[in-house]
Amino acid sequence: MSGLLLLPLAGWSQTQDEEIREKSSRFQIGGYGEVAYTREFFSDNVYRYSNPGRYKNDPSHGRFDVPHAVIYLSYDFGKGWKMSSEIEFEHLGTGSAVEKEYSEGGEWESEVERGGEVELEQFWLEKSFCKQFNVRLGHIVVPVGLTNAHHEPLNFFTVYRPEGEATIMPCTWHETGISLWGRTKHWRYEVQLLPGLDALNFSRENWIKDGSASMFEFKVANKYAVAARVDNYSVPGLRMAVSGYYGHSVDNSLTRDANGLAADLKGAVAIGSFDFTYDAHNWIVRGNFDYGHLSDAAEIKSLKGGQSTSSPYNTSEVGEAAIAYGLEAGYNVFSQFSKLRERRQQLYVFGRYEYYNPYIRDKEKQLDFGYTAKDRMAVGLNYFPIPEIAVKAEYSHRFLKSPYNNEPSVSLGIAYQGFFTK
């Protein structure tokens, strides 16, 4: 490799990132990754919400994880044409093995050895006509919300991605579609045409989060959706953005039910979001507010009930609305020491608060499940020995309504983020 080109650190704008890439070599390779350890001081039993008293004093449990490891490849063909791709390994990817099972007559069996996912998170071709107008076609990130637009691990203080947005929306949200985008000195815009979500994958615990997934070798696209985002950088050190999504989700799965109940339903998903990042005077402050509404939410439960017993779809209720908002702030205490500043070392002491609820019900048609509403607070440290690497430590506490038990935990993590060419 000829050298190292940094990805944007926490607080950098997407515009600055694109300007850096424009000045770099035609071929680029890079990526990011995270390793985490968590000890949770509450029950992990699946019935802890239906019978909270029984599991109140359960022992703690711990886990190691590799949430994300991403390889980025890009090539500029010239004359305005560019290709870019990201392959992501989540939770170490997947693994399986074949064994000869002697206890069952010597039959060959295939067994899952490791859980996880391998995904092509981005793969697109782009034609740039000018700085203000570009066309991107292929598999693209849907930049709705703060975390989807800035999902790399140095763009949040917590060990894991911000919990609220990662609960109610796909994260990182990626779809195959077309994007029109451009930028000026103080503005960046993006408009996307995408396939719609699948209402049969919506759930009480995660709202529309799993609706973007496809268990087939293709993505069903009976219905379509639009997404848009506008960022502003007029104030030095401050980035503000609004983003949104709208699309229908019913009858967007195999097989179509054009003459059944689905014919009278839309499952319209509407999401609005505001987020900001302030990075100046040794402070980094980030905030987000997301609200979404789903039409025909109560009736979608009936659609799920009509599936066969072998159906892979989720069978739970889904709320007619969901909400997530949060604020985090960190101060670089090493900024007060000249030798540490010269070495480019940073130590952020941070705090975070967020509230989220993926199941805001239709009170006239749906049952109440009070455990879905959560307040979460976290405090911790982010140490940057060099700009590309962060060592993270965090204590967090989820607060649930009575009679449910609160959920404290401690997490440690290390993350990197960078391009390896210049």
| 384/236 Cα distance (integer angstroms) | 23
Which residues, other chains included, contact 393 with Cβ-Cβ below 8 Å and sequence gap of 6+?
A: 159, 380, 381, 411, 412, 413
Q: How far apart are CA 113 and CA 91, in angstroms?
A: 13
Q: What are phi and psi of 228, to 5 degrees?
A: -150, 155
Mean pLDDT, the chain, whole residue set: 89
- The whole-angstrom separation of Cα 31 and Cα 106 is 44
What's residue 138's pLDDT? 97
Helix (H) or strand (E) holding 303: helix 297-305
Question: Which phi and psi angles does 102 have, rounded to 5°?
Answer: -70, -25
- Identify the H or E element spanning 301: helix 297-305
As a whole-number percent, the residues of the chain with pLDDT over 70 amount to: 87
Query: Using CA atoms, how far apart are residues 25 and 283, in angstroms rounded to an integer?
Result: 32
DSSP code of 203?
B
Name the more confident of 125 and 303.
125
405-416 as b/e, with b when 16 or more CB fall inside 10 Å?
A: bebbbbbbbbbb
What domains are there in the chain, each with its CATH number?
A: 14-28+67-93+111-367+415-419 (2.40.160)
Q: Strands, DSSP E only, in 282-406?
A: 283-294, 321-332, 346-360, 374-386, 389-400
More confident of the two residues 316 and 160: 160
Q: How many CB atoms lie within 10 A of CB 382?
A: 25
**Residue 258, both tokens:** 């054009």
Q: Residue 15: pLDDT above 70? A: no
Q: How confident is residue 119, by pLDDT bands cut at 50, 70 and 90?
A: confident
The 10s digit of each residue's pLDDT in 311-365 is 677 778 999 999 999 999 999 999 999 999 899 999 999 999 999 999 999 989 8
- Please give the Cα distance from 181 to 231 (Å, whole number): 11
Q: What pLDDT does 187 receive?
A: 97
User: What integer is the mean pLDDT of 89-104?
Assistant: 67
Say if CB 292 and CB 269 are below 8 A apart: yes
CB neighbourhood size of 35 (10 A): 16
How far apart, in whole angstroms, are the C-alpha atoms of residue 238 and residue 233?
A: 6
Residues 30/55, Cβ–Cβ less than 8 Å: no
